[in-house]
């Protein structure tokens, strides 16, 4: 198997490191626009192979898309973070051009690949990729839900005093502080609803903390997170390449599911060798569905910016 990660920043490099350590691919290409960055980080990672015992071959390149030819999965992390004073519309305008260019160049050499979009704003960038790539919808996925669900499980584990690995909990909706919906009524510890162990106040706090999970880290460290986003992306790659059929929340194209069409939103799906293979219907309550519809409206407002570019 061959995997390409476009963007050798903190998230892209962390994703690549996770993929290499787990030997998910025999060949891994790290591509960046800045001269020397991908090359240097790939050499640094390769020098850990003797210590960690993996055999994945990592190659770093600068804008050499020919090196990505034949990739089974391509992760797109390219794009600029939102800067002080920058509107969301301005961010979309900048990153839309970057993501579209990356997608076009990747497909020249890997027309049968599966694309995982990490670039922000993720819902809109994934929708753009869906609209412009020409790929079947099952082969284009957004990463944000895997990250948000991991954060949800973290906050649940802190309140319950248990291992996050023993929890099943998913986030749906948009990948944003005001658009994501942690489905706490559907979360379980083992096979038991977590609501059996938590007061209404505890539940509300967990949901609120999850929704601002990204902003909390940005405030603490002065920049966006990278360990969990990188690991979340690598988990998606693993389920795809190993055909694990794991249920992971991902940004996907909806065509009537969850009451929405012509939009990319985060919902739980099974991930296997063909990309996302099945959308899992969680049978939302009226209140949850109303929140999902509100989230969709907010994401559509951002998607409308694409029409002005």
pLDDT in tens, 51-106: 999 999 999 999 999 999 999 999 999 998 766 666 667 889 899 999 999 999 99
The one-character DSSP state at 286 is H
Per-domain boundaries in the chain:
2-143, 145-308
C-alpha to C-alpha distance for 29 and 6, rounded to whole angstroms? 8
pTM of structure? 0.96
120-160 residue pLDDT tens = 999 999 999 999 999 999 999 999 999 999 999 999 999 99
Report the pLDDT value the prediction gives residue 83, as an integer from 0 to 100. 67
Could you tell me the pLDDT band of residue 43, with boundaries at 50, 70 and 90? very high
Over residues 157-170, mean pLDDT? 97
Of the candidates 262, 243, 225, the one whose C-alpha atom is nearest the C-alpha of residue 118 is 225
Report the pLDDT value the prediction gives residue 161, as an integer from 0 to 100. 97
| Percentage of the chain modeled with pLDDT above 70 | 98
Over residues 178-188, mean pLDDT? 97
Report the pLDDT value the prediction gives residue 250, as an integer from 0 to 100. 98
Report the pLDDT value the prediction gives residue 89, as an integer from 0 to 100. 73
Report the pLDDT value the prediction gives residue 112, as an integer from 0 to 100. 97
The CA–CA distances, whole Å, from 192 to 55, 166, 210 equal 40, 11, 21
Catalytic residues: 175
Write out the CATH class of domain 145-308: alpha beta
Q: State the Cα angle at 275 between 247 and 18, rounded to 5°.
A: 75
249-273 residue pLDDT tens = 999 999 999 999 999 999 999 999 9
**Can you identify the CATH homologous superfamily of domain 2-143?**
NAD(P)-binding Rossmann-like Domain (3.40.50.720)
C-alpha to C-alpha distance for 213 and 215, rounded to whole angstroms? 6
| Percentage of the chain modeled with pLDDT above 90 | 92
Query: Does residue 219 have a pLDDT over 80?
Result: yes
Q: What average pLDDT does the chain have?
A: 96
CA atoms within 13 A on the CB side of 177: 8
Q: How many helices (H) and strands (E) does the chain have?
A: 10, 14
Of the candidates 299, 275, 82, the one whose C-alpha atom is nearest the C-alpha of residue 172 is 299
The answer to whether 82 touches 92, Cβ cutoff 8 Å, is: no
Q: What values do phi and psi take at 8, rounded to 5?
A: -100, 25
All residues at 6 or more sequence positions from 96 whose CB lies less than 8 Å from its CB, including other chains = 124, 125, 128, 306, 309
């Amino acid at each position: 198997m061959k995997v390409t990660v476009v963007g050798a920043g903190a998230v892209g490099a962390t994703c690549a490191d996770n993929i290499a350590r787990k030997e998910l691919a025999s060949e891994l290409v790290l591509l960046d626009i800045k001269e020397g960055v991908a090359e240097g980080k790939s050499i640094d990672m390769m020098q850990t192979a003797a210590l960690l015992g993996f055999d994945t071959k990592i190659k770093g390149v600068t804008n050499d898309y020919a090196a990505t030819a034949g990739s089974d999965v391509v992760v797109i992390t390219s794009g600029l973070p939102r800067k002080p004073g920058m509107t969301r519309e301005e961010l979309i305008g900048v990153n839309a051009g970057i993501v579209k260019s990356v997608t076009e160049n990747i497909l020249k050499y890997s027309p049968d690949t599966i694309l995982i979009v990490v670039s922000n704003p993720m819902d809109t960038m994934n929708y753009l990729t869906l609209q412009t790539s020409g790929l079947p919808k099952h082969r284009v996925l957004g990463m944000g839900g895997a990250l948000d669900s991991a954060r949800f499980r973290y906050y649940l584990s802190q309140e319950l005093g248990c291992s996050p690995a023993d929890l099943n909990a998913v986030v749906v909706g948009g990948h944003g502080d005001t658009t994501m919906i942690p489905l706490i009524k559907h979360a379980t510890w083992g096979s038991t609803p977590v609501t059996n162990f938590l007061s209404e106040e505890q539940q509300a706090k967990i949901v609120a903390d999850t929704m601002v999970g990204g902003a909390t880290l940005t405030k603490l460290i002065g920049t966006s997170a990278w360990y969990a986003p990188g690991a979340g992306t690598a988990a998606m790659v693993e389920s795809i390449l190993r055909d694990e059929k794991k249920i992971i929340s991902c940004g996907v194209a909806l065509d009537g599911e969850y009451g929405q069409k012509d939009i990319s939103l985060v919902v739980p799906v099974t991930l296997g060798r063909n990309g996302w293979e099945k959308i899992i219907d969680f049978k939302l309550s009226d209140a949850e569905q109303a929140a999902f519809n509100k989230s969709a409206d907010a994401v559509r407002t951002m998607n409308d910016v694409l029409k002005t570019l």
